[in-house]
Amino acid sequence: MTARLTGRTALVTGAGSGIGRAIADRFVAEGARVVYADRDGSAAAAAAGSALPLTMDISDEASVEAGYAALAAQGASPDVVVANAGVQLFGHDAKVADVSLETWNRTLAVNLTGTFLTVKHAVRAMLAGGGGSIIVTGSPTGLTGEGADFAAYSSTKGGVHALVRATAMAYARDGIRANTVVPGYTETSLVSTISGDPESRAAIVSRTPLGRPGTPEDVTGIMVYLASDESSYATGAVFRVDGGMTSL
């Protein structure tokens, strides 16, 4: 494997498990110095191995600021930030008329405000460091009606896509690129409620033209591309790795 990210420092949120861990592991394999950031510090440490674990609650600005400060204290500035952490509150999120304010606020606090805080402080660090690549994990639910039964989650992902566009346009001349990657149905612990129900799983797979669920590793190739100089002319874009789901 060619080490396309040698010499780069990358911070990945939600890196304790699932898609985030797969991205962080792939970045390590590609030669990057990787910070595994996660709200669960034990999970971050277990995933990071000899890399750098970081306890970070993205819904808390003080925690986010402290995370970037810890990186700076080691003499490192992030060249790549992957804002991947998020929640989907199965059993609570629902159609818009049925969502409680508590569920709405909790989902927004992590998925939209948390992504905003991650991106905000990434931009500040990259302005000081001379630029970089910000990659945000989106969702088909932010693009289509796929998530009608998850009003809070879908709304946050729509907001995330708008945030990326605004960031890309505001900082393009500063050498900062921002793009969104949209995985499809990917079997991780986040969606265990679906994957553990054969009927629900089959229904989603039936709406995926490639005919199978995604794996966390399916997402890592496009992440490496966006983290590398190969994507130097790409910003403000949405890259879909969803098995064709949003093409229907």
Residue from 180, 234, 178, 219 nearest 26 by CA: 219
By annotation, the residues acting in catalysis are: 153
pTM tops 0.85: yes
Burial 128-142 (b: 16+ CB within 10 A, else e): ebeebbbbbbbbbbb
Q: Is 73 exposed, middle or buried (0-12, 13-18, 19+ CB in 10 A)?
A: exposed
Give residue limits of the domains in the chain.
9-239
DSSP class of residue 197 equals -
Burial 168-183 (b: 16+ CB within 10 A, else e): beebeeeebbbbbbbb
Q: Is 29 helix (H, G, I), strand (E, B) or coil?
A: helix
**8 A C-beta contact, residue 82 and residue 223:** yes
> How many Å is the Cα radius of gyration of the chain?
17
Give me the helices (H) in the chain, please.
18-29, 41-48, 61-73, 101-107, 114-129, 151-171, 192-195, 198-206, 220-227
How many other β-carbons are positioned within 10 Å of the β-carbon of residue 247?
A: 10
Asked: is 9-239 a CATH 3.65.10.10 domain? The reply is no
Per-residue pLDDT for the chain (248 aa), expressed as one digit of tens each? 579 999 999 999 999 999 999 999 999 999 999 999 999 999 999 999 999 999 999 999 999 999 999 999 988 899 999 999 999 999 999 999 999 999 999 999 999 999 999 999 999 999 999 999 999 999 999 999 889 999 999 999 999 999 999 999 999 999 999 999 999 989 887 777 777 888 888 988 999 999 999 999 999 999 999 999 999 999 999 999 999 999 97
Sheet with strand 9-13: strands edge to edge: 52-55, 33-38, 9-13, 80-83, 132-137, 176-183, 238-241
